[in-house]
Structure 1
Amino acid sequence: MRVGVICHDEWHPAEVVQQGFTKLANDQYEFDYIEHAKDWSEAWMNQCELIVLAKSNRVSASDRTPWLTMEVQGCFQAFVEKGKGLFVIHAGTVGYLEEPLFRSLIGGGFRSHPAPDQVVLRPAAELEPFVVHDEHYQMAFESGDVFLTSESACGSYPAGWRRKQGLGRVAVLTPGHYVEVWQHPSYQKLLKRELDWCAGERLNRS
């Protein structure tokens, strides 16, 4: 299955995402990365069965112009509603709070975070709680089935959720500023589980 990965901005280098997915690249998943918004197109996206968004709403690391126009938001919505998958990770929630169409599609948006510190991640089932050093994202959560919460000195927030829209599926994971978080064994299990869930029945047909 071809997975299109949109990543890289001034705070979140592509290398973190790429290293995080290294062990998950196999016969099931082939990752195709783009790092600059100019390289995105509806045609490129439609060649993929699943999109991972791990990039804030900036054209590039040096260009802070928002890239998610209403037209692009509509393309994402259509992509999901026709039966494909969208997996939003960490930076992919940043800068979209004022974009109501996309915020509704992913079920919320990033508000802020305190200085990096110890964060306890509590999966709702299967996995045991685990601790990471990370940015604790404080989220404006709107809709979805929460499967992960995050706790620190600043409180508790939804950190992972799923939702369906039309025929497609959307998953969100908010941890992941550092490569050590991505490579944590329990986080790797969450990444794989949500990739599989977003792919749905298409994974067995690929």
Structure 2
Amino acid sequence: MTAPSALVVRGGWDGHHPVEATELFIPFLEGQGFAVEVHDSPEVYADAARMAQLDLVVQSITMSQISREAVAGLREAVAGGLGLVGWHGGIADSFRNESDYLQLIGGQFATHPARAPEERVGDETDNYLAHTIAITELGRSHPITTGLDDFDLVTEQYWVLHDDLIDVLATTTHPAPPWHPWHRTIESPAVWTRHWGEGRIVVATPGHTVDVLQNENVRTIIERGMLWARRTA
């Protein structure tokens, strides 16, 4: 039997530590029998023959650029059964100028609320808020999140714009403090899946830093997500 194959595609903004973050999960994939290949450019997506041989793509590319041919190749490959998994800005804030990519993922980073002005020190921790990742009713029975309880994090809390074709496994609720202009709390998806043709997509919004990815709950969600999303057709 041929071993399953996984492609790790990483790059973009260094602030999300794409190399260190993906290196956390490569040993897991290899332990699950995957042959793992690493690319530092999304242009591999335009190689239809190569994409057809893959079972899973793990993407960690924040912002950055991608060609129309590569976006089309990724969409076609996922529709044909390829699994696609990512976390935080590496999937939910990639290729902002490409609407076809945004439609494929089903959710897009909008902002992350900040601490009170008097608590800010001028670095990335100004956007670290204590918040809860709440497992939904669907999430309590889904293979990715079953058995997990609600859990708390202190990190960036993603506010996500999304459509109704995602299946939300966990949410997070943004507060409405007086230093921000919105007037009521907002619930955003924090973990979701999406079926695209024959393929499966998994997005987890926690993961700003390596230590967040090492959180037992976050890591479990991503690892289970990779196994669930892998090619089934």
Normalising by the residue count of structure 1, what TM-score does the alignment of the two structures yield? Answer: 0.83
CA distance in 2, matches of 1:27, 1:171: 18
CA distance in 1, matches of 2:67, 2:22: 24
1:131-170 deviation per Cα after TM superposition (whole angstroms, max 9, x unaligned): 1222111111112110011234354310111111111111
Counterpart of 1:31 in 2: which secondary structure?
strand
Q: Are the structure 2 counterparts of residues 76 and 38 from structure 1 closer, same or farther at C-alpha, using a change threshold of 3 Å?
A: closer
Q: Is the 8 A contact 2:172 2:189 kept in 1?
A: yes
Q: Which of 69, 75, 79 is the equivalent residue of 2:77?
A: 79
Does 10-19 or 149-158 show the bigger shift? 149-158
The runs of 5 or more residues in structure 2 that have no matched partner are 114-126, 141-145, 177-185
Q: Is the 8 A contact 2:56 2:231 kept in 1?
A: no
1:163-198 deviation per Cα after TM superposition (whole angstroms, max 9, x unaligned): 111111111111101112111111122112211211
Normalising by the residue count of structure 2, what TM-score does the alignment of the two structures yield? Answer: 0.74
Q: Are the structure 2 counterparts of residues 23 and 199 from structure 1 closer, same or farther at C-alpha, using a change threshold of 3 Å?
A: closer
Q: Say yes or no: does 1:153 pair with 2:175.
A: yes
Q: Is the 8 A contact 2:132 2:172 kept in 1?
A: yes
Partner of 2:54: 48
Partner of 2:93: 94
CA distance in 2, matches of 1:112, 1:171: 20
The runs of 5 or more residues in structure 1 that have no matched partner are 59-65
Q: Percent identity?
A: 24
Q: Which of 12, 31, 38 is the equivalent residue of 2:16?
A: 12
Partner of 2:154: 133
Q: Which of 128, 135, 140 is the equivalent residue of 1:116?
A: 128
Q: Is the 8 A contact 1:7 1:35 kept in 2?
A: yes
CA distance in 2, matches of 1:141, 1:194: 19
Counterpart of 1:88 in 2: which secondary structure?
strand
The structure with the larger Rg is: 2
May I ask how many residue pairs the two structures share in their alignment?
194
Partner of 1:32: 37
CA distance in 2, matches of 1:105, 1:46: 18
CA distance in 1, matches of 2:202, 2:168: 10
- In structure 2, what residue type is equivalent to 1:31? V
Counterpart of 2:16 in 1: which secondary structure?
coil
